[in-house]
Amino acid sequence: MPQSRPVTRLTRRDLLGLAGMAAAGSGLACLGTVLGYLALDRLVSPQRPTVTPSPPPTRPAVLKQIDRPGILSRQDWGARTLNHEAPNEFGFYSAENPDGWRVYDEDLRIVYRTVVVHHSVLYEDDDLSTMRAIQEQHMDLRGWADIAYHFGVGQSGQVFEGRSLTVRGTHVEGFNTGSVGVVFLGDFSVNHPSSFQFEAGRRLIDWLALRLELTYLAGHSDFNPDTDCPGRYLRELLPILAQSAGLSLGTAGYFAGD
C-alpha cells in the first residue's frame, strides 16, 4: 500500500515565491492594459490616447534581459554611401572644422547621455521607401553627409539602422554631440503611432538605455521649441517611453562629452 502523502504546509519561503509570481503577473497585466488602451484608442477616438503609465519595474533587473532588437542594416534598406563633400557637414571634424563628420573616439557609454525622439513628417508608400526618402532629403536638400538620425522606427514595427552610432548625428541643432537620434516614421501631429510601431520604439529605446547607459529622454521640441517634432500624439507618449527605459524626461541630461 503506497504511503499517503503528508499534508504540506506552505512555508514563509513558499508564500514569498507566490507573492513574487503574483507581482510579476500584475506587471504583465499592466503592460497589457496600456497596450490595450493604445490599440483601442486608435480605433475609437481621434482624441488623446488614454494612457495611464504604470511605475516602471526596477531598471537593472528588467533591462539586463533585453536582447538587441532586430535592426535592418543600411545595406538591407539600400542606404546611400556617405558624402564627405556635403556642404553642411563637410569633411571631418577637427577643432578648425567643428561641423565636420565626427567619429567618436571615446567609449560610447561616456559619449551618450540622452536619446532624442523625432517624427519624420514625411511618409512614402512604406517604411523602406520612407527611410530612403529621408536620407535623400537630408543629403540632397539639407546638405548633410548622411541621414541625420541613428535609428528609424517604421509603422510596421521594423527598426532601421540610420547613421552609425559611432558618429555624431545632425538631428537636434546645437545639441547633437552625445545625443542618440531616434525617428518614428510618420506625422504624429495628425496621426497616432500604431501599437506595433510604438512597441518597437519602446524596445529599441529600452535597449539603447542599457547599452549606452543613458540617463535622459527628450523630444526634439524640448531642445528646440520652434519645432513641433515629434508631434503631439507621439510627444504625449514620451513619459511612457522614458519610464519603460528607466530614463528621466527632459533636456537636463544633455552632455556634450567635451
Q: Is 150 in the site for Zn ion (CB under 5 A)?
A: no
Q: Of 75, 179, 72, nearest to 118 (Cα)?
A: 179
Residue 220 beta carbon to Zn ion: minimum distance, rounded to whole angstroms: 3
Residue 116 beta carbon to Zn ion: minimum distance, rounded to whole angstroms: 7
Residue 43 beta carbon to Zn ion: minimum distance, rounded to whole angstroms: 28
Residue 150 beta carbon to Zn ion: minimum distance, rounded to whole angstroms: 13
**Alpha carbons 257 and 205: distance in angstroms, whole number:** 21
Instruction: Answer for the pair 156, 140: CB distance below 8 angstroms, yes or no.
Output: no
CA–CA distance from 181 to each of 5, 11, 18, 127, 251 (Å)?
62, 51, 42, 17, 14
Span near Zn ion by CB under 5 A; candidates 96-104, 124-132, 209-217, 223-231: 223-231
Instruction: Answer for the pair 117, 222: CB distance below 8 angstroms, yes or no.
Output: no
Cβ proximity to Zn ion, 101 vs 149, nearer residue? 149
Q: Is 118 in the site for Zn ion (CB under 5 A)?
A: yes
Q: Is 235 in the site for Zn ion (CB under 5 A)?
A: no
Q: Is 229 in the site for Zn ion (CB under 5 A)?
A: yes
**Alpha carbons 114 and 238: distance in angstroms, whole number:** 13
Q: Is 220 in the site for Zn ion (CB under 5 A)?
A: yes
Span near Zn ion by CB under 5 A; candidates 2-10, 40-48, 78-86, 115-123: 115-123
Cβ proximity to Zn ion, 54 vs 224, nearer residue? 224
**Alpha carbons 192 and 33: distance in angstroms, whole number:** 18
Cβ proximity to Zn ion, 192 vs 220, nearer residue? 220
Span near Zn ion by CB under 5 A; candidates 80-88, 131-139, 217-225, 233-241: 217-225
CA–CA distance from 122 to each of 90, 109, 143, 200, 229 (Å)?
25, 31, 18, 19, 12
Span near Zn ion by CB under 5 A; candidates 12-20, 72-80, 143-151, 219-227: 219-227
- In sequence order, which residues have a C-beta less than 8 Å from that of residue 163 and are 6 or more positions away? 146, 147, 148, 149, 150, 169
Residue 170 beta carbon to Zn ion: minimum distance, rounded to whole angstroms: 11
**Alpha carbons 208 and 110: distance in angstroms, whole number:** 13
User: Which residues are at the interface with Zn ion (CB under 5 A)?
Assistant: 118, 220, 229
